[in-house]
Structure 1
């Protein structure tokens, strides 16, 4: 058993099949299949059930996932430590971020980081909910995470590094009776239709809290596609409650952005694996938290 076999095994797990995993790894699918078969022979058990074009983990496969991730993570730290001797002139950093926080504060930190370490490639993965981001870091699929919630989660296996608090704003089409920069009482939202994110997101938590408090909001659209919300608002499908990181983009697009009164906030934090960080991850996290 070697590192490449474990890396390929995890790629099949994470991408749901051999075809997509081969594309991501830039290897021929027969070569990938042969690596997995060799690993299965060495372990003496099948790791996947082949179901059509997809795969399902066997019991043995499920047992291997955790140790495989720890082994790949440990070797990655070792490789990055060697690269650090060269002053982070090369390398790769993976971050899983929720969409609104990928706008701010992540984009600004990436800009500073890549200016200082131009040889390090930064890869940003999407995590729609707090649970998705935490799981990506905990299992070692990514080195750092960036999440936001009405409350920050306390989960085993990961460390939290708070960096910001973002206010929620109401985003409406220009036809609505609100003005940009104004304070809008939550009671003034009664009777309006709202575009809501899926359960597990901060924006959905605020919408649900408003409804529970007696504000008569109607969820007109529920979407997992964060990029669709602003176009839906501008088209008149409803209003939206979004993190303040969307303010500048929404205003430039012609929407009205107003503050909620009373205020609701998102707590924003980076997440790191408790097993340790490589030099690139550590340098990025230090840069992201240095102004806090």
Structure 2
């Protein structure tokens, strides 16, 4: 089995077809098709069902996705280790990150890393659903991941790389700017919230309930990028991590710190096992620059 054939297979899976895979790989479509057929002959089974112009994974193809990604990751680790031993840099580092962490710590640490290792490209992947975050690392799509704790960390190693304070964000012109807010003040407050089952709501819900508060849901929305525009439009208030709240303040929203303070730990994690040279450098950099204790845990 050639690594090139595995790359072709994964490109078809990840880009949704042979034409897009060929474009992404910058090779001719027949080369991709021939590589897939050669891989299928070697494995003795079809990896895709051809349905018109579509390529649909067969049961065998579905089962092959995870080990194929591991093969790609192992090859990257080998190349990176050799490059590191020779004092060279290069390749690509794939990192998964919750959208709420895109500014801090993700952008901050990627900036530090790239300033020291400009020849290593970084690909950031945002999961479509919160539950997919750790899966992106477990299945080898990404080597590292940023997420809030708690997370299901079975089979993963992690270090705490920061904490985010949760603050109240209100529409422009709201009273109380600069003064702290207790959970009791949320009683009857129109709120913009994410659906039940979302980690942020599951984290904050018990705290609000413990304060005996009955919030009034103005809007429940799964699209987090729409929360801030709704606050700015006067629809209601919301609770956000401070880095995102600071962006809201720059656009006119009113921020009030919650008392007693509420914080969430931010973790960087990877699958148990050896990291590529680039990932190890990033891991060490994140630990050194952590705002809070960064003990490595498994």
Relative to the length of structure 2, the TM-score reads: 0.87
Instruction: Report deviation, 1:276.
Output: 1.6
Deviations 1:40-95 (A, max 9, x none): 22222111234566544222112212321221111110111122134343221111
Whether the 8 Å CA contact 2:172–2:234 is kept in 1: the answer is no
Distance verdict in 2 for CA 1:36–1:228, change over 3 Å: same
Contact 2:166 2:242 in 1 (8 A): yes
Q: How far apart are residue 177 of structure 1 and its match?
A: 2.9
**Which SS does the other structure have where 1:119 is aligned?**
coil
Give unpaired runs (5+ residues) of structure 2: 291-298
Alignment root-mean-square deviation, CA: 2.4
State how far apart, in whole Å, the 2-side matches of 1:5 and 1:34 are: 9
**Residues 106-117 of structure 1 correspond to what in structure 2 (within 5 A)?**
106-117=106-117
Verify: 1:10 aligned to 2:7, yes or no.
no
Instruction: Indicate the residue corresponding to 1:259 in structure 2.
Output: 257
Q: CA deviation at 1:203?
A: 2.6
Aligned residues: 289
**Separation of aligned partners in 2, 1:19 and 1:63:** 23
Q: What CA distance in whole angstroms lies between the structure 2 residues aligned with 1:59 and 1:219?
A: 43
Q: Which runs of 5+ in 1 are unaligned?
A: none
What is the match of residue 79 of structure 1?
79
Mapping for residues 36-185 of structure 1, pairs under 5 Å? 36-51=36-51, 54-127=54-127, 129-149=129-149, 151-156=150-155, 158-180=156-178, 182-185=179-182
User: How far apart are 1:190 and its partner, in Å?
Assistant: 2.1
Is 1:203 the counterpart of 2:200? The answer is yes
Q: Is the 2:183–2:208 contact (alpha carbons within 8 Å) kept by the matching residues of 1?
A: no
Using structure 1 for the length normalisation, give the TM-score.
0.88
What is the CA–CA distance in structure 2 between the aligned matches of 1:280 and 1:199, rounded to whole Å?
38
Q: CA deviation at 1:6?
A: 1.1
Residues 263-282 of structure 1: per-residue CA shift (max 9 Å, x gap): 33212100112132111110
Does residue 194 of the first structure (1) align with residue 191 of the second (2)? yes
Q: Is the 8 A contact 2:182 2:259 kept in 1?
A: yes
Match of 2:294 in 1: none
